[in-house]
Amino acid sequence: MTLASPSRHTRITGTGSHLPPRRLSNAQLVAELAARGVETSDEWIVERTGIRARHFAAPEVTASDLALHAARHALEAAGRQPGEIDLIVVATSTPDMVFPSTACLLQAKLGIVGCPAFDVQAVCSGFVYALTVADSMIRTGGARRALVIGAEVFSRILDFDDRTTCVLFGDGAGAVVLEASDTPGILATELHADGRHVGILCVPGTVAGGKVIGDPLLKMDGQAVFKMAVGVLEDVARSVLAKAGRTDGDIDWLIPHQANIRIMQSTARKLKLPPEKLVVTVDEHGNTSAASIPLALDHAVRGGSIRRGDTVMLEGVGGGFTWGAVLLDF
């Protein structure tokens, strides 16, 4: 591999996303769950989470399939061809297979040969982790144009007998093209993890000897996750602002992980941001884990809300426990 020249800056030059065509409203999901003897309601879901619908992939559709659509949209928006990409980083907790990585499978589907391609696993913080890794590699000369993607098929790991979790999640993918730049784009990043809290959000299963060992379905202590999330999100946002020499008044748009409208609104209030500066897609997408932030970013860009020059705060928080933030000028 030939190293590129180190770059002082990186910038997002294109965004893209993809949702599976099957949309399930709360009413439709409630009806399906009732047939299984699981009781819930549209009112209960909306009141506690803000979620009104989510998208589920068809059984034969994989994370790399969703990623492919999102990647193509991002490449088109950036005016780039697949062959111009020299780094692929995919954030996912629902890979196509044990190995190789979803990134390598995507690389083949895009017809790209030779560049580094790997997965990052930080659950719902995954995209922030992946974007930070790509930013670092470009700044140190390891690449010049990166494809950074969050892609998930969380419907595969849900326990549909657990009404407290199965109503929360959805499938989808979001992508950005990140390029070396002469002008600042990504201003500051910060990542954290605390493995002491592994049990509050996990899928405690694995494969060994051809059998599933443990429980391969999602488990969550909702109250514990909520309490930890609201604390760490404010702290990491303020830390990233300080690194960049900015204040909360400089933020044009806040894109937190789209998990729960109450966590998102709490973070916005603590940063003294008005509700109209908060990008919200959780109502229509549900929690798409590593895909949620790039999905919301693309939604806001294509909808005309986020424009060139706007200052955007991205914040992820998820299982591990992991959290992080990226401050950027779009």
40-52 tens-digit pLDDT: 999 999 999 999 9
CB-neighbour burial class of residue 43 (10 A; exposed 0-12, middle 13-18, buried 19+): exposed
**Tell me, what's the pLDDT at 3?**
66
Percent with pLDDT over 90 in the chain: 98
pLDDT at residue 286 tops 70: yes
9-181 and 186-329 share one fold: yes
Residues annotated catalytic, as ranges = 124, 257, 287
Edge-to-edge strand ranges of the sheet holding 145-153: 9-18, 171-181, 145-153, 87-91, 117-120
Q: Residue 254: which region, alpha, beta or left (left: phi > 0; alpha: psi -120 to 50)?
A: beta
**Tell me, what's the pLDDT at 253?**
98
Beta bridge partners of 178: 12, 146
The ranges assigned to domains in the chain are 9-181, 186-329
pLDDT single digits (tens) 166-219: 999 999 999 999 999 999 999 999 999 999 999 999 999 999 999 999 999 999
**186-329, what's its fold?**
Peroxisomal Thiolase; Chain A, domain 1 (3.40.47)
Architecture of domain 9-181: 3-Layer(aba) Sandwich (3.40)
Query: CB–CB of 14/170 below 8 Å?
Result: no
Q: Encoding tokens for residue 25?
A: 């409203």
Query: Model-level pTM greater than 0.85?
Result: yes
pLDDT single digits (tens) 41-91: 999 999 999 999 999 999 999 999 999 999 999 999 999 999 999 999 999
pLDDT at residue 132 tops 80: yes
Query: CB–CB of 191/317 below 8 Å?
Result: no
Complete DSSP assignment for 78-106: HT--GGG--EEEEE-SS-SSSSS-HHHHH
Q: ∠298-329-261 over CA atoms, to 5°?
A: 50
Q: Give counts: helices (H), strands (E), the chain.
A: 10, 15
